[in-house]
Amino acid sequence: MKLTRQKHAKKNMGFYKNNFSFREPFQVLLDGTFCQAALRNKIQIREQLPGYLGGAVQLCTTRCVLKELQSLGKALYGAKLIAQSFQVRNCSHHKDPVSGSGCLLSMIEEGNPHHFFIATQDQDFANKVKKKAGVPLLFIIQNTMVLDKPSTKSLAVVQKLQTNQLVPEHQKQSIVQLKEQEGLAKQGGEKRRKRKRAGGPNPLSCLKKKKKKTQEGQEPSSEKKKRRKRKRNRVKAEAGQPVPKNEEE
């Protein structure tokens, strides 16, 4: 069972590394519910999590999570001590603290640019996390930490990437830089359209008109008349009829 779980974790980590550029050290944001579950199940988060994820890990939380644990009193005192040992990431709720889940949800807005993992036992909060693309989700089940499979939202985004319908912002910047290095970037806005130069006269119209040739075997009309007169005179002569002088050959 342990080998199968490790195999699934490796596969899921490969998904986030290849498609969402996750790199070591992996930053894991933990809430109070995860710390409480780890304490109850005697899980050493700091020792066990790096081996499970296959790389160095930074365990983090926020002031809002610590405030929430403090407000819950003695019942979660042990979870508060665990959370206090983690790095505290700055959030935007300095003056007006919010719930731990609300704070962590704000940390992964706008495409999770800091590549945070979320570790929680809160099912409602986990469902909200799954609606965000590229956010790995950790939880504890049967005394073991588990990396959840990629969400439907993450899979849909990757499918669009593979069909070139969507390009990540960091890739767009890389493409622009490569174009500038190769001198392919557009300068001065849109490319100017080439103006058509005024063309000269049609070369076919400059050719001299050819004289019509008389068809083969065709004779002028005057020659035809002379031939008819000669034929007529010959017939009269043979018949013994007088031929006019002006019509003699």
pLDDT tens digit string along 128-140?
999 999 999 999 9
What is the pTM assigned to this prediction? 0.65
The C-alpha atoms of residue 211 and residue 82 are separated, in whole angstroms, by 109
The highest-level CATH class for domain 1-155 is: alpha beta
What confidence tier does 231 reach under pLDDT thresholds 50, 70, 90?
Answer: confident
Q: Over the chain, what is the mean pLDDT?
A: 83
R_g over Cα of the chain: 47
pLDDT at residue 104, rounded to an integer: 96
Query: Which of 3-7, 101-105, 214-218 has maximum average pLDDT?
Result: 101-105
Task: Please determine, for residue 59, whether its predicted confidence score (pLDDT) is greater than 80.
Answer: yes
Residue 82 near residue 119, CB atoms below 8 Å = no
What confidence tier does 241 reach under pLDDT thresholds 50, 70, 90?
Answer: low
Task: Please determine, for residue 193, whether its predicted confidence score (pLDDT) is greater than 70.
Answer: no
Q: Which two tokens stand for residue 41?
A: 């199940």
